[in-house]
A and B are shown apart, each in its own frame.
Chain A
Amino acid sequence: QSVLTQPPSVSGAPGQRVTISCTGSSSNIGAGYDVHWYQQLPGTAPKLLIYDNYNRPSGVPDRFSGSKSATSASLAITGLQAEDEADYYCQSSDSSLSGWVFGGGTTLTVL
Chain B
Amino acid sequence: EVQLVESGGGLVKPGGSLRLSCAASGFTFSNAWMSWVRQAPGKGLEWVGRIKSKTDGGTTEYAAPVKGRLTISRDDSKNTLYLQMNSLKTEDTAVYYCTTRTHWGQGTLVTVSS
Shortest Cβ distance from B44 into A: residue: A105
Which secondary structure characterizes the binding site on chain B?
Answer: strand
Which residues of chain B come closer than 8 Å to A87, judged between CB atoms? Answer: 44
Partner of B46, one of A38, A48, A98, A102: A102
Question: Do residues A99 and B44 form an inter-chain contact, with CB atoms below 8 A?
Answer: no
Which secondary structure characterizes the binding site on chain A?
Answer: strand
Which residues of chain A come closer than 8 Å to B103, judged between CB atoms? Answer: 48
Q: Roughly how many angstroms separate A11 CA and B62 CA in the complex, as a whole number?
A: 35
Q: Roughly how many angstroms separate A87 CA and B47 CA in the complex, as a whole number?
A: 17
Q: Roughly how many angstroms separate A38 CA and B47 CA in the complex, as a whole number?
A: 14
Question: Do residues A104 and B44 form an inter-chain contact, with CB atoms below 8 A?
Answer: yes
The answer to whether residues A89 and B47 also contact, given A57-B102, A100-B35 and a CB cut-off of 8 A, is: no
Question: Do residues A2 and B44 form an inter-chain contact, with CB atoms below 8 A?
Answer: yes
Question: Do residues A38 and B45 form an inter-chain contact, with CB atoms below 8 A?
Answer: yes
| Stretch in contact with the other chain, from B24-32, B80-88, B104-112 | B104-112
A106 to chain B, nearest CB (A): 10
The answer to whether residues A99 and B49 also contact, given A45-B106, A57-B102 and a CB cut-off of 8 A, is: yes
List the interface of chain A (C-beta within 8 A of B): 2, 36, 38, 40, 45-48, 51, 57, 87, 89, 91, 97-105
Return the 3 tightest CB-CB contacts between A and B, nearest first. Answer: A100-B47, A105-B44, A45-B104
Subset of 16 A-B contacts with CB under 8 Å: A36-B101, A40-B45, A46-B97, A48-B104, A87-B44, A97-B63, A97-B64, A98-B61, A99-B47, A99-B49, A99-B62, A99-B63, A100-B47, A101-B47, A105-B44, A105-B45
| Contacts beyond the supplied A48-B101, A51-B102, A102-B46: 7 A-B pairs with Cβ under 8 Å | A45-B104, A45-B105, A51-B101, A57-B102, A99-B49, A99-B50, A103-B44
